[in-house]
Chains A and B, each alone.
Chain A
Amino acid sequence: MIEISHVNKWYGPSFQVLKDCTTSVAKGEVVVVCGPSGSGKSTLIKCVNALEPFQEGQIILDGIKVNDPKTDLPKLRARVGMVFQHFELFPHLRIIENLCLAQEKVLGRSHDEAVAKGDKLLERVGLTVHANKYPAELSGGQQQRVAIARALAMDPIAMLFDEPTSALDPEMISEVLDVMVDLAHEGMTMMVVTHEMGFASKVAHRVIFMDKGEIVEDALKTDFFGSPRSERAQKFLSKILSH
């Protein structure tokens, strides 16, 4: 589904953010990307739907080369859902309008069709009563669930999560993770940048550990938590699991 091979990316002439990153996500697979901040995990996930350009290597998404100038990027991006750390709901649109905008403008669905789909997804994330509110009237956890629903409204073939719970209060994290766990159980292909090791150990198939722009470890979940091979991953794990 997602094939990342030998991706190199530089900011400016000298600072290399991604160093020869190669990995893949198969259909139905849940891959968690973790690592210290500044390790390039967010950048990597943003390269997958070309929100960030990269200079070398290639990424193939469902058979389509992302970094090919001939690729119709808006069309490709519409097929991949993305959830951001700061939710990024559109503040001037009501919740239901947030869910309808891209369905209508990108997929060309009728307004009624889009609303029906939106209602269904709001029900799924348990926010039906908030359909006519504005994003700022919702809590962080609720906003993030709306953001997930907004991405799902496009019927994506895969979902990218960029630290979806990092901006949330602890008590709101679980309501978002619950939605994500459900998605994973339904067989959604997911690439998740997160520090939530509980989520990783529960639903991930594989865990990728990044440090300083490199993929240091790319292992099955059991291997990663059981006995990470690299010293850096061991250190990282011992730090975040020690409390």
Chain B
Amino acid sequence: MNYNWNWHIFFEPNPTGAGTYLDMLVAGLLLTIKTALLAWVIALIFGTIIGILRSLPSRTASWIGFCYVEFFRNMPLLVQLFLWFFVLPELLPRAAGLWLKQLPNAPFWTAAIGVGLFMSARVAVQLAAGIGSLPRGQKNAATALGLTTAQGYRYVLLPMAFRIILPPLTSEFLNTIKNTSVAITIGLIELTGQARAMQEFSFQVFEAFTAATVMYLAINIVVVTGMRFLERSLAIPGYITGK
């Protein structure tokens, strides 16, 4: 292989005229972090609501939860992003579709919401499993003390269920970060996008993707460490994530 290694490429000015190639990658990294964080917040909020619905005795509630989860987890993420980005504006009334297409930062919002909803289905399933793993008597005890269903979830069931599912939630958080790279297909120039741009400008493909890999690895290490810390600070003596 006749490849011209050049690790100094990162410090050379990029052709956009705004800083070095490293600056490009860092801008991509920041956008990846922003997209992933927003997506994760969305995933947690919707995942929690749907997870609770799936755990309620009401048939209607669990049916709604079932439909939601199956809709979002049975379609490839790529297809979902295309659906939100290219198809949805065409399905809406003309004016609304036009407005949607002209939104500034449309790829960012679409990616964050699209990845967020996709991941929320997974969070929902885990949360429902976490709630289901608690002894039935916990709910009875909360109810018998006079707590309403909402209070029972808020003060008794959810604090325990979330503790139990923290380890798998860490994986889901990491998946959320990595899944934002799919947004390159709808024009979001995040870390993967910038690495590709760098490759096209400079032909230093290995350097570009090595740097991107290292950066993904670095964010994920931060997340894993943070979640480990969270697990430890929430640990309860005698329980699965406990000391």
Contact = CB atoms under 8 A, between A and B. Distances in A.
What does DSSP make chain B's interface, helix, strand, loop or mixed? helix
Contacts of A81: 144
Contacts of B138: 88, 90
Interface residues of B, number: 23
B135 A86 contact: yes
Contacts of B238: 91, 134-137
B239 A88 contact: no
A84 interface: yes
Interface string A71-114: 00011111111101110111110000000011001110000000
Contact of A91 (B144, B151, B239): B239
19 contacts: A51-B140, A74-B143, A74-B146, A75-B146, A78-B145, A82-B144, A82-B145, A84-B141, A85-B137, A86-B135, A86-B137, A89-B141, A90-B142, A91-B160, A92-B159, A101-B145, A105-B155, A106-B145, A154-B145
Given A84-B137, A105-B151, A105-B155, A77 B237 contact: no
Nearest to A106: B146
A49 interface: yes
Contact of B236 (A51, A86, A105, A134): A134
Interface of B: 135, 137-138, 140-148, 151, 155-156, 159-160, 163, 236-239, 242
Interface of A: 46, 49, 51, 74-82, 84-86, 88-92, 101-102, 105-107, 134-137, 150-151, 154
A194 to B, nearest CB: 17
A51 B142 CA distance: 10
Given A74-B146, A77-B144, A88-B140, 4 more contacts: A88-B141, A91-B238, A134-B236, A136-B236
A88 B137 contact: yes
Contacts of A101: 145, 147, 155-156
A102 B135 contact: no
A88 B135 contact: yes
B164 to A, nearest CB: 10
A46 B142 CA distance: 14
Contact of B145 (A77, A85, A92, A136): A77
Contacts of B160: 90-92
B239 to A, nearest CB: 6
A74 B148 contact: yes
A91 B236 contact: yes
A19 to B, nearest CB: 23
A160 B10 CA distance: 73
A42 B237 CA distance: 30
B146 A92 contact: no
Nearest to A84: B137
A154 B141 CA distance: 13
Contact of B163 (A74, A82, A92, A135): A92
